[in-house]
Structure 1
Amino acid sequence: MKKILLLLLSLFLGLSSQAQEDSLQANRYVMRATLYGAGFTNILDTYLSPMEYTRPEIRILRESMRMTKLMNGNVSVQSLFQANLSLTENKAETSNEMAGMVNWNYALHYQFRLTENLKILAGPMLDLNGGFIYNMRNSNNPAQAKAYVNLAASGMVIYRFHIGNYPLIARYQANLPVMGIMFSPEYGQSYYEIFSLKNGGKNVLFTSLHNQPSLRQLVTLDFPIRSVNMRFGYLCDIQQAKVNNLKSHIWSHAFMIGFVKNFYLLKGKNKVAMPSRVSPY
């Protein structure tokens, strides 16, 4: 009799937990993460100098994800903001450049749930970028403004697994700009000519894979430490373009670490994330 009661109690608790999970409104649960990191950058902008500039950079990345009601609740939305700053030097050690960039991505991903632990996400992404490069040696044209907008293709693989009883979540994401527009001065054209003298020119240009072959890749690993969910990440950010007979690139490799929080904090190492059925991640 005692065994029967225990069996019925276990069954009831299991059904209650399942019903509670199913009753959750998935689009109201948000995963947020903030990462801080440092890495190495390589900068070239032939408008300012024909030489490459290299040195360390610092970076911050903030991400949020949630499910939507689109396509029967199978589409998630991702907002990804990052900013980086670097002080670089050329190989001859004759000049320095300071660079800063801000990037914001907004993506809609359709989630293909292959198994309970494996997801593949794919969809379109809006990619906004702005920043500057300042050459401390130049006098006539000391700075270059960076501004471009892309429509990108975005893909992601998310895998949940355990090492023993320790839960982990691994993610790989790649964002490929497909088409967009970019601001650039013409070769030999100064900003004084553009904005003060109002001299016309091709300063807003169409970009695609042929003149802006760029790619952002992000690898992360989520792991709990007591009641805190941590995230370790690596970012490979390859931004490059050739427009108006000017070449430019910003290649960055950064390692980051930070925290992951859900809209309702779920404590304990067995709750490294929200229930899989309602989690966008």
Structure 2
Amino acid sequence: MMNHKLTGIMAGLLLTAGSLTAQTPADSIMLNDPTRYVTRATLYGVGAANMYDTYLSPQEYRGIEFRLSRESMRMTRWADGNLSRQSFFQGYVNYTHNHVDNNNTLSALLNWNYGLHYHFRLTDHFRLLAGGLADLNGGFVYNLHNGNNPASARAYVNLDASVMAIWDLRIKRYPITLRYQANLPVMGVMFSPHYGQSYYEIFSLGHADGVVRFTSLHNQPSLRQMLTADLPVGRMKMRLAYVWDAQQSSINNLRTHAYSHVFMVGFVKEFYLLPNKKKQTL
């Protein structure tokens, strides 16, 4: 009886070892595949806003802004594995007032960037990235006391040049990742009414000539910058960020700007994507 039990135990151990051995290559391939490694961050922030739109008022409006962002980065197999893909979504709402404090505006904007960056690995701990992004924007500015023209729409699409610097460092034994990113709109299209033209004329009467204009550095000198620091907190990573967002335009005899200085905080999630078993069986 003892021999039969020992034989059964040995057979079970061999089968278990065989199954683990059979799974190990697939698992190791997945874990060593950088294209399955995803970094995702969600941040919340508050800061200062400065709004200016001559369609609504000749005055600047200053106030408070609340911002949310969600970012995802992942390496690709392109360019010998040196090209990463970035998807960055952000939205803000701000409430501002003029300098005499007798009028207010409410503004909101959604922005989505999607593009690629090439990695120049200068050292084991420092990388420079350069690439391009599609930059989509939509929102509004609403003046709370205007009668004839109470609101101004925001709608524009750009192709951005984008650069990044990523530095992995240690303060004693504490690891920190610093990153700086700047996005510069190079060319695009923007919706803008003419000076004194109402939205009723555009959308109801069909007077839409020239309301969609080509943009570049000469009439839309804008820049988005972000500085982040990733700090390990237990098994998670906290991200601290400062965003300086400067959007400007001078189109159809109208001038606008939206300046934001925002401090943000959130958490970073790093994970591996599991292989698609359905694709593997086909």
What is the percentage of aligned positions where both structures have the same residue? 56
Number of the residue aligned with 2:133: 125
**Deviation, structure 1 residue 201:** 2.1
Question: Does the CA-based 8 Å contact 1:120-1:155 persist in structure 2?
Answer: yes
Equivalent residue in structure 1 for 2:172, among 164, 170, 174: 164
- Distance in 2 (CA, whole Å) between partners of 1:166 and 1:20 is 28
Equivalent residue in structure 2 for 1:35, among 22, 30, 43: 43
**Deviation, structure 1 residue 143:** 0.3
Structure 2 residue 53 is the aligned partner of structure 1 residue 45: yes
Letter in 1 for 2:97: E
Number of the residue aligned with 1:97: 105
- Distance in 1 (CA, whole Å) between partners of 2:30 and 2:91 is 38
TM value normalised by structure 2: 0.85
- Distance in 2 (CA, whole Å) between partners of 1:261 and 1:67 is 15
For 1:64-75, list aligned pairs within 5 A: 64-75=72-83
**Deviation, structure 1 residue 94:** 1.2
For 1:184-199, list aligned pairs within 5 A: 184-199=192-207
Structure 2 residue 221 is the aligned partner of structure 1 residue 213: yes
**Deviation, structure 1 residue 106:** 0.6
Equivalent residue in structure 2 for 1:62, among 50, 56, 70: 70
Equivalent residue in structure 2 for 1:251, among 259, 262, 271: 259
Equivalent residue in structure 1 for 2:144, among 117, 128, 136: 136
Q: Which runs of 5+ in 1 are unaligned?
A: 1-15, 266-281
Equivalent residue in structure 2 for 1:235, among 243, 267, 279: 243
> How many residues matched?
248
- Distance in 2 (CA, whole Å) between partners of 1:178 and 1:129 is 15
Number of the residue aligned with 2:186: 178
Question: Does the CA-based 8 Å contact 1:98-1:133 persist in structure 2?
Answer: yes
Rg (Cα) greater in structure: 2
- Distance in 1 (CA, whole Å) between partners of 2:50 and 2:254 is 17
Q: Which runs of 5+ in 2 are unaligned?
A: 1-23, 274-282
Deviation >4 Å, runs of 4+: 19-23
String of CA shifts for 1:32-89, please: whole Å, max 9, x gaps.
0000000000000000000000001000010000000111111000000000001110
- Distance in 1 (CA, whole Å) between partners of 2:78 and 2:236 is 31
**Deviation, structure 1 residue 107:** 1.6
Question: Does the CA-based 8 Å contact 2:180-2:226 persist in structure 1?
Answer: yes
> Helix, strand or coil for the counterpart of 1:194?
helix
Question: Does the CA-based 8 Å contact 1:124-1:153 persist in structure 2?
Answer: yes
CA shift in 2, pair 1:134/1:211, >3 Å? same
TM value normalised by structure 1: 0.86
Letter in 1 for 2:237: N
Structure 2 residue 196 is the aligned partner of structure 1 residue 151: no
